[in-house]
Each structure stands twice: as structure tokens, then as C-alpha cells.
Amino acid sequence: MTRTARPALGTVIFFAVAFALGIYFTFAAVQGDYGLFRRAEIDAEARDLAAQLMAVQYEVAEMENLTRRLSDDYLDLDLLDEQARSILGMLRSDEIVIR
């Protein structure tokens, strides 16, 4: 009876499956739905959205200021005059129009 010096087929299959699973989980950890690249995309998107939020908050503060200045409690006559002239297209008697 002679013995061959080749490894058992079960051992080869075990290591092949283990290697394939290792490759799969490594790929999923880097490029999967919850991987490192997706995390970087989410962080960049969060920074962009935070910048947009700051811009919108600034615009809202400006609008609240203008609204308060035209309210009944605090009336800014210069702003009221400016708004009325721009909306109605009227001019004051001392203004000069150059076309």
C-alpha cells in the first residue's frame, strides 16, 4: 500500500472557503453599504447640509428682522418707505431718475 503526499481535499476546501469569506468581509467593510467609503460620503454630505443649514438660518434671521421692523410694535419708517416705493414703483418728489 502506497500513500500519496497530497493534502486532504477537505482541508483545501476549508481554507478556500475561509479565504473567500475573508475577501468578502474585507470588501464589505470597505465598500459595502456600511463601509468606510460610504461613511466618508455621509460625512461629506453632513458637512454640506450643515453649511446649507447655516445659510438658511441666516436668511431666516434676516427675514425675522425685516418682519419685526415692519410690525405694529416697532415700525421702521425708512424701511416702510423703501418697501412701498419699490413695490408700487413710486418716486419721491426730490428724487432724480436717470434712464
Residue 78 grid cell:
425708512
Distance CA 88, CA 98 (A): 18
Q: Which residues contact 91 (CB under 8 A, 6 or more apart)?
A: 85, 97
pTM of the prediction? 0.57
pLDDT, tens digit, for every residue of 31-68?
Answer: 988 899 999 999 999 999 999 999 999 999 999 998 88
Using DSSP's 3-state secondary structure scheme, residue 41 falls into: helix
d(CA 56, CA 59): 5
